[in-house]
Structure formats: structure tokens, C-alpha cells
Amino acid sequence: EDQVTQSPEALRLQEGESSSLNCSYTVSGLRGLFWYRQDPGKGPEFLFTLYSAGEEKEKERLKATLTKKESFLHITAPKPEDSATYLCAAPGGTSYGKLTFGQGTILTVHP
């Protein structure tokens, strides 16, 4: 059975304090690893797709990386507006949109 596990469950940072979120996966025939951001009361918002080990993607203060067993979301010099739940997910079946999500990491950035 496909599994996606995220750690830590919650992370509290001071503004400007860089850190990383982890996503480990057990998926047969990985066909991509997705990162989403979710704000309270909203649906998830797509951030990145990574397809192969060694791949990196960047967007503003976020950088996602992928190895054969896990993915990291690095947050550099975070701001309070980066506070959200970050979700990673892997596709199963024939559709890339049929995703198995991790439980998420709740990130809080204090000013």
C-alpha cells in the first residue's frame, strides 16, 4: 500500500529562521511527488511537482528537492505569511491527480 509520511507534524519558526520539512514515501513505481500549501479554511494550492531523484524546484523562499526515498521542502528566511499547512502527495493508479497525501506539516512563522 502506498504511504506518504511527513515530519514534523508542526514546526514553529522565528521570522528569518530557515528550516526544512520532510516527506518520505513508500510508493511502487513513483511517478512524481507533489507539494501543496493549505491555508485555514481554504483548499490546497499547488506548489511543485518533482519527477526524478536529484530534481529541484524553487519558488520565492521555497525549494523542493527529491531523492529516491524522500523529499524536502526547504524554507529560507521565512516570513509570517509563509505560515500554512504544507502537504506532500504521490499519485497512484492511472491518474496523476489520484493522490495519496501525507498528514501535513503545520508551519507557524512568528514575527
Partner 1 sequence: GAGVSQSPSNKVTEKGKDVELRCDPISGHTALYWYRQSLGQGLEFLIYFQGNSAPDKSGLPSDRFSAERTGGSVSTLTIQRTQQEDSAVYLCASTSGSSGELFFGEGSRLTVL
91 binds partner 1 (CB under 8 A): yes
Give the count of residues interacting with partner 1 (CB under 8 A): 24
Given 15, 17, 45, 81, the residue binding partner 1 (CB under 8 A): 45
Question: What stretches of the chain adopt beta strand conformation (E)?
Answer: 3-7, 10-14, 19-26, 33-38, 45-50, 56-59, 62-66, 70-75, 84-91, 99-101, 105-110
Min separation Cβ 16 and partner 1, Å = 30
78 binds partner 1 (CB under 8 A): no
Give Cα 10 distance to the centre of its chain. 13
Min separation Cβ 77 and partner 1, Å = 26
Min separation Cβ 6 and partner 1, Å = 9
Interface of this chain with partner 1, residues 7 to 36, rule: CB under 8 A: 32, 34
Min separation Cβ 14 and partner 1, Å = 28
- Is residue 3 a contact partner of residue 26, using CB atoms and an 8 Å limit? yes
CA distance 43 to 72: 22
Is the omega angle on the peptide bond into residue 78 within 30 degrees of 0, that is, cis? no
Interacting residue ranges for partner 1, rule: CB under 8 A: 32, 34, 41-46, 49, 87, 89, 91, 93-104
